[in-house]
Chain A
Amino acid sequence: GEDVEQSLFLSVREGDSSVINCTYTDSSSTYLYWYKQEPGAGLQLLTYIFSNMDMKQDQRLTVLLNKKDKHLSLRIADTQTGDSAIYFCAAVNAGNMLTFGGGTRLMVKP
């Protein structure tokens, strides 16, 4: 089955850019998602990218997809303290099921 991997932790200073990386194994994944989870809350869909795209930009968020390497990244420009959260990468498989990575905890220092 699909395996989705993320680094556990990222620390950045306020105002810097954050880059959260994710790798997946199923080359047939059609959609790839980024979710944000704030403490004690559910998951909020941030953005997604279709597998035939290389890049998607939405305000401060930029998603890059390298389909050859099965690598997905989320860049947050001008990171703010409110961006501190856990970020989950997820991939859709052929059965339309989501497989989640373990989450990357982003800590933003003032």
Chain B
Amino acid sequence: SQTIHQWPATLVQPVGSPLSLECTVEGTSNPNLYWYRQAAGRGLQLLFYSVGIGQISSEVPQNLSASRPQDRQFILSSKKLLLSDSGFYLCAWSTNEQFFGPGTRLTVL
């Protein structure tokens, strides 16, 4: 069966610090991978998606970036965090249906 992992589960970072969130998928090959952000009490905003290794599409211009160094690994990064980067970050994978990881709650102070 397929599983999706995200870490860390929670993170508190100061403004201006770097960020690296990791997502890995098991039990499937060549999935589409996604990063979403959910601001407090709001819906989901698609940040990045990837259809293969090294292929990243950005949906929203921002100070975040994504990379896919391996087929089942998707990384969300920032060189300098902003207060507005606080939120709940969800990784997802899909073939037909889309399945979500447990999320990372990021608080930028």
Residues of chain A whose beta carbon lies under 8 Å from any beta carbon of chain B: 31, 33, 35, 40-45, 48, 88, 90, 96-98, 100-103
Task: Point out the residues of chain B lying under 8 angstroms from A103, CB to CB.
Answer: 42-43
Q: Of A31, A40, A44, A98, which is within 8 A of B105 by CB?
A: A40
B23, chain A: closest CB distance, angstroms: 11
What are 5 residue pairs bridging A and B, where the CB atoms are less than 8 Å apart in the complex?
Answer: A40-B103, A42-B90, A96-B32, A102-B43, A103-B43
B83, chain A: closest CB distance, angstroms: 21
Q: Of B6, B34, B98, which is within 8 A of A33 by CB?
A: B98
User: In whole angstroms, how far apart are the Cα atoms of A90 and B44 in the complex?
Assistant: 10
Task: Point out the residues of chain A lying under 8 angstroms from B49, CB to CB.
Answer: 97
Indicate if B102 sits at the interface (CB-CB under 8 A). Answer: yes
Q: How many inter-chain residue pairs (CB < 8 Å) link A and B?
A: 43
Let me know if A100 and B44 touch, CB within 8 A: yes
Task: Point out the residues of chain B lying under 8 angstroms from A35, CB to CB.
Answer: 100
What is the interface residue range for chain B against chain A?
Answer: 20 to 34
Task: Point out the residues of chain A lying under 8 angstroms from B101, CB to CB.
Answer: 42
B98, chain A: closest CB distance, angstroms: 5
Q: Of B92, B97, B100, B103, which is within 8 A of A48 by CB?
A: B97
User: In whole angstroms, how far apart are the Cα atoms of A45 and B97 in the complex?
Assistant: 8
Indicate if B96 sits at the interface (CB-CB under 8 A). Answer: yes
Residues of chain B whose beta carbon lies under 8 Å from any beta carbon of chain A: 6, 32, 34, 42-44, 46, 49, 90, 92, 94, 96-103, 105
Let me know if A101 and B98 touch, CB within 8 A: no
Let me know if A42 and B103 touch, CB within 8 A: yes
Asked, given contacts A97-B46, A102-B42, whether A43 binds B100 with beta carbons under 8 Å apart, the answer is yes
Apart from A42-B90, A42-B103, A45-B98, what are 16 other A-B pairs with CB-CB below 8 Å? A31-B97, A42-B6, A42-B100, A42-B102, A43-B92, A45-B99, A88-B43, A90-B98, A96-B32, A96-B94, A100-B43, A101-B43, A102-B42, A102-B43, A103-B42, A103-B43
A46, chain B: closest CB distance, angstroms: 11
User: In whole angstroms, how far apart are the Cα atoms of A90 and B105 in the complex?
Assistant: 22
Let me know if B32 and A33 touch, CB within 8 A: no
